[in-house]
Every structure is written in structure tokens, then in C-alpha cells.
Amino acid sequence: MRLLMVGRLGGQMTVATKIAMENGAKVVHAETVAQAMRLIRSGSGCDMVMIDVHLDIGDLIYQLDLERITLPIIACGTSPDSNAAVLAIQAGAQEYIPLPPDPELIATVLRAVTNDAKDVIIADPAMQSVYTFAKQIAPSDASVLITGESGTGKEVIARYVHKESRRSEKPFISVNCAAIPENLLESELFGHEKGAFTGAIARRIGKFEEANGGTLLLDEISEMDIRLQAKLLRAIQERMIDRVGGSRPVPVDIRILATSNRNLDDAVQEGIFREDLLFRLNVVNLHLPPLRERQQDILQLAQHFSKLYSDMNGMPERSFSDEAISSLQSHSWRGNVRELENTIHRAVLLAQGDEIASENLTLPNGQKVDMTSSSLAAQAAQTAEAVTRSFVGQTVAEMERDLIVDTLDHCMGNRTHAANILGISIRTLRNKLKQYADEGVDITPSGDGQQAA
């Protein structure tokens, strides 16, 4: 993970930098917003910006928006005044970290904002065979399509392929195609020339050039607009890219990895994904089985997350009771590893005795994870009947609106998760939310680092 620290490196900023580096971040430094923008444009690259709260955070975010650059911004400062944090968030920062820095807090923020999971925890034969195959094909330059349900660990195995490849000493650059609006994604991938559009005051190097010599991961490739897919196909075929507004192609030497939680063959049939691009990406396919089909991984992962969050929260590490283990292994884990991680985090905070008990394993709505399939089915039937009654008298459009808005609220504003639950693309969800917002409907603010509709 590449971190750009912006501000004068006084004592506390220096300590924060050291902590970030100890947590695996590669850190570069800029004293001013102007210097930070030059570094970002140059292709030095960063995955996250940590900026002194006393600098003009609003100006930085304004310039990034103007030049079609998408980056998470974290504010930090020594001021005891809580207004500093409030103003930073209002200006557009995603988080505020008080200084002097707490090592556990910085580690948590780095992990949460970048989703930079490096740990490979596998015990189940079904997953071991996937990683064996991944190691076998890693030294080649073949494009790899990684498929599987949301939360199965597609980015983790992508990083593993890069680590085991001949390009491991070169950059690994990840682009979330679902999180970046389509009107910004082209510039994000290919960069732009000065004057290419209003606000392009200087040349900006895109992710293809940042990844030169290394690996580029196109995360959730199915969400890319079909018009941009044509330009991507040319870049993959010819190993040449065209910056937005550029007059001549730029050669690049990269390996392409892509992930999707959707069936791309179906997307081709629907006319929203190019078949020729699918052939280019799917030279090798790595399919990750869902967690419910990897029983031996569940306990291993649960123990890993228990230790992680116990250490992070300064709490004693606890083992799992026999009942808790049974609950973990019988649950369906529709959200896969991500759902398991959140469940264990809650359990660590709730547990009080010597063990993590089954009653400590709860879902976000407070429901226990060990409910039997029959009781879940009965509850679902009762819920469905109540919901049906509540819809009587509404139009289909009103029902759709309420379902989308309520699902987004349930996902705490996370557009990607809500779209997955609803079975629609992130683009369709954004368009619907924009329509509802224009109609005066209250929309839950974005909770996943994406721009709100």
C-alpha cells in the first residue's frame, strides 16, 4: 500500500509515518497541497493520502475532483478541538486520526480504507488446490480472470499471484472499477494530457503507466462501461495506451489480472460485456469457492480474526467454545470471508468469559448465526408475508424505490454491497439513487469510499 503524507514532518507526523511503514505502507512525503498534486500526477502513485488537518483539505479534494483523480483522504492533527475533525470530514476527508498517533488506530484505518488484506489463510483442500494452481501459473505473463462470490478473497489471491510472479519486485496496482464513476475511470486508467478537459492543468499518469513492469488488477471488471471496454481491449492486445487528449500511444509492459463476482458469460449475452475482451482476460481462470464450501477454512479464519481484533483492541485472546465452533461451521456465510471477519470482530468485543460463546456470534441485526435452516425459513416466510401486506396500494415504481433505499440503509451506505444484494449493477444503482435524490428522497450517505449519488 502506497501512502502519501502531506504536511510538515514535525515530531508526531514523523511517528505516524514510521507506524505506517511498520504496517507495510510505502510512504512518500509532500509539504504542501501543490507538491502533493505534482507527485500524484507524476505517476509516483499513492493509494491513500494522509494530510495535516491545518492544510486546505477542501482545496486538495477540489483539485483531485477537477482532474478526475479518485483517492481516499485521511486527515490527521494534534488539535484537541473536536471542530478540526468535523471540519475535515465536512471538507471531504473519509477519516480523522488524532495525533500523537495510536499504532492500532493507524493500522485499522490503513486496512479499512485500502482493503489491503495480505494474509493468506487456507486449510481446506478446495482452496489449497486453487492456490496450488495459482502458484503454478504465476510466473507466466498470462492474463488471469479471478471469479467468485463477493467476499471470497479475490484480491488476496491476486496479490499472491503477483508475489509469486517474475514481476514481484515491480508495482502491484489495483483499480476498483465498481467504485470509480464511469466518467472518471478512463482518466484513472490511462491518464490524461494537459488541456484534455476543463481542469486538466497538467499531464497525469494513469494506473497503466504506474503499473509499468508490474501487475495491474482490474477489480470488478464487469462494472466497466462497455464503451471503455473497447479502449481497454486495445491496450491489452497492443500493450499500448492512449492518454485522454494524447496524440501518440504510450507503450506499457504489464500483466493484467481481473476479478468479477458476476458471470461474465451472462454479461456477454446481455450485451453489457464484450466477448472479445472476455477471451483476452480469461486466458487462465481462478475460481474461488464460497466459504460455505470450505469448512476447514472457517475455523482457521475465525481464529486468525480473533487474534487480530483482540490485539487491535487490547483485549485477551479467547478460544471458541464447542457450541461457537458448531455455529460457525453451520452458518451459510452469504458474505463469505468479509461477513465472517465482521462477525468475529463483534464477537471479540462482546465476549466476557474465557471463551467466545455462541451467543457472542451475531449478525448486524442482532440475530444469532446458529439459527437452524428451518427457523430461518419460517422467519423468512413471516417476513415475506408482512412485507407483501405493506406493499399493497403502492405502485411497482414505489415498491422498487423503497426496496433500493431500504437495502442501501441496511448496508450502511455501501453501494457495492447493496448492488450485490439487489442483483443489479453498481451503475444501475447509482442512476436510481440519483433519480430518487432529485425527487427529494433521503439517501443514506456512502459508506464504502465511493461518491454518493
Report, as an integer, the average pLDDT of 154-173.
Answer: 94
Q: Residue 141's pLDDT band (boundaries 50, 70, 90)?
A: very high
**What domains sit in the chain, N to C, each tagged with a CATH number?**
2-114 (3.40.50.2300), 125-287 (3.40.50.300), 292-360 (1.10.8.60), 391-438 (1.10.10.60)
> How many helices (H) and strands (E) are present in the chain, helices listed first?
19, 14
Position 388 scores a pLDDT of 59
The string of pLDDT tens digits covering residues 363-415 is 887 788 865 444 444 444 555 555 555 666 778 888 889 889 988 887 778 78
φ, ψ of residue 352 to 5 degrees: the values are -130, -30
In terms of Cα–Cα distance, which of 383, 373, 300 is closest to 332? 373
Position 319 scores a pLDDT of 94
Position 251 scores a pLDDT of 95
% of the chain exceeding 90 in pLDDT: 43
Question: 431: helix, coil or strand?
Answer: helix
C-alpha cell at 83: 471542530
CB 229 within 8 A of CB 116: no
Position 382 scores a pLDDT of 53
Altogether, the residues listed in the chain come to a count of: 453
Position 396 scores a pLDDT of 82
Residue 377: is it exposed, middle or buried by C-beta count within 10 angstroms (0-12/13-18/19+)? exposed
Examine the pLDDT at 115 and tell me if it is beyond 60: no
Examine the pLDDT at 58 and tell me if it is beyond 80: yes
φ, ψ of residue 343 to 5 degrees: the values are -65, -45
% of the chain exceeding 70 in pLDDT: 87
Report, as an integer, the average pLDDT of 44-70.
Answer: 85
Position 450 scores a pLDDT of 47
Report, as an integer, the average pLDDT of 263-291.
Answer: 94
Q: How far apart are the two ends of the chain, measured CA to CA in Å?
A: 28
Mean pLDDT (the chain) is 85
CA distances (Å), origin 13, targets 27, 78, 85, 94: 12, 9, 16, 18
Neighbours of 285 (CB within 10 A): 11
Report, as an integer, the average pLDDT of 317-340.
Answer: 92
